[in-house]
Amino acid sequence: MVAARAHKTPRPGRKLLPVFRGATWLVGATWLAGATWLAGVVLTALTADGAAAQARDFPNHAIKIIVGPSPDVFSRIVAEHLKDAWGQPVVVEPRPGAGGKLAVNDVLAAPADGYTMLFATPTYTLNTAMKVASYDLAKEFAPVALAGLISYALVINPSVPAKSVAELVAYAKQNPGKLNCASAGIGTVPHLACEYLNKVAGTTITHVPYRDVNSGMMATVGNVTQMFFGVATNAKPQIETGALRGLAVSTARRSLLLPELPTMIEAGYPTFEMPGWGGFIARAGTPPDIVAKLNAEIRRAVAQPDLQQKLIAAGMEPPPDYAPADVGKFIADDIARWTTFVDAVGIDKLNSEAK
């Protein structure tokens, strides 16, 4: 029979020391991890609280709206409301030229704090579709709010014997090369509209670029060119005096300014939807709470009947009631729409005209 071994109690201070050291390290590491986590939570909370405070105090000084090639009247109407609502100056600064690049550069050079916005239009989405943009709308900008929609009216000189789009197309086919279509320059909405009509209708109407919308309109009034897709507010007085004949509008719904004119879709061209629009975007990285505050006040502005009437008189019709994310999708859809048109017409053809 084997006797049981006696259990020996370790002497104090021997062999237990590594255990204590390990326990001390574990406690220290646990404490450090907990402290780091807690510091992270506190920092996150402080950052969030700071951002919230920044949004609550916004705006505490002047806001600037940079306007590129488009008219600045729309921005000024909205700016007046923002000034009254917040008690801070709202400065509208025109920066035309270089296809909107000058305006874009000014906004991108400013801090991403909501105090500098770009008044965006199809110029920027069309430049993107034509692959001539020096910026990335999706990555470099944060969508804020829409100001309104713009209709383009197809108008012709009264010397052209047509009272509908169908009659105009028939006349163009019977007289190839006889009709000239004015535009506000290469790569503008009127330019794409002329070329897309050629594509979908099978016509050979000649595109003639002008410096701006007014020049293209007056060339058509003077019969230097025979047709033009002009902004509805500019076309309306010419139609009313009989200087031009209106045939259709480019938007999906009829224009409030020219309700008697059918849409191009109603005229038999279901893919012919070329809406103009105006809206506000800021630099990417602008705090979401500030974007939301800007969006809410601009939406409140454009929903007011008196301000709507001012915008309509200037040529801009009420927009959809969009949150910032909806505005972002609207802009992405506009790029996709213009890309479809550019692909249909041929980007090489458009670029060759620009040279």
Q: What is the pLDDT of residue 19?
A: 47
Write out pLDDT tens, residues 213-229: 889 999 999 999 999 99
Q: Which residues are paired to 229 by β-bridges?
A: 154
**CB neighbour list of residue 50: distance below 8 Å, 6 or more residues apart:** none
Q: What is the pLDDT of residue 41?
A: 54
Q: Which residues of 283-315 are buried (b: 16+ CB within 10 A; e: fewer)?
A: beebbebbbebbbebbbebbeeeebbebbbebb
Residue 118: CATH number of its domain: 3.40.190.150
Q: Evaluate if residue 58 carries a pLDDT over 90.
A: yes
Q: What is the pLDDT of residue 69?
A: 81
Considering the domain architecture, whether residues 163 and 243 belong to the same structural domain is answered as: yes
Q: Evaluate if residue 18 carries a pLDDT over 70.
A: no
**156, 227 contact by CB (below 8 A):** yes
For residue 91, CA distances in Å to 79, 88, 108, 221 come to 7, 10, 17, 35
Taking the C-alpha atoms of residue 257 and residue 25, their distance in angstroms, rounded to an integer, is 78
Overall domain count for the chain: 2
Q: Evaluate if residue 264 carries a pLDDT over 60.
A: yes
Asked if residue 50 belongs to a domain, the reply is no
**Per-residue confidence at 140, pLDDT binned at 50, 70, 90?**
very high
Q: What is the pLDDT of residue 45?
A: 52
Q: What is the pLDDT of residue 44?
A: 55
Angle CA(147)–CA(190)–CA(95) in degrees, nearest 5? 55
Asked if residue 43 belongs to a domain, the reply is no
Write out pLDDT tens, residues 122-139: 989 998 998 888 899 999
Q: Which of 274, 291, 306 is the last residue of a domain?
A: 274
Considering the domain architecture, whether residues 325 and 295 belong to the same structural domain is answered as: yes
Considering the domain architecture, whether residues 270 and 280 belong to the same structural domain is answered as: no
Q: Evaluate if residue 35 carries a pLDDT over 60.
A: no
**Per-residue confidence at 211, pLDDT binned at 50, 70, 90?**
confident
Considering the domain architecture, whether residues 189 and 247 belong to the same structural domain is answered as: yes
* Range of 87-101, 119-133, 167-181 with top mean pLDDT: 167-181
**Per-residue confidence at 71, pLDDT binned at 50, 70, 90?**
confident
Would you say the pTM of this structure is higher than 0.85?
no
Taking the C-alpha atoms of residue 90 and residue 66, their distance in angstroms, rounded to an integer, is 11
Domain containing 127 equals: 62-149+275-344
Q: What is the pLDDT of residue 187?
A: 78
When the pLDDT of each residue in the chain is averaged and rounded to a whole number, the result is 87
Q: Which of 259, 274, 289 is the last residue of a domain?
A: 274
Q: Report phi then psi at 109, rounded to 5.
A: -85, -15
Q: Evaluate if residue 38 carries a pLDDT over 70.
A: no
Considering the domain architecture, whether residues 157 and 93 belong to the same structural domain is answered as: no
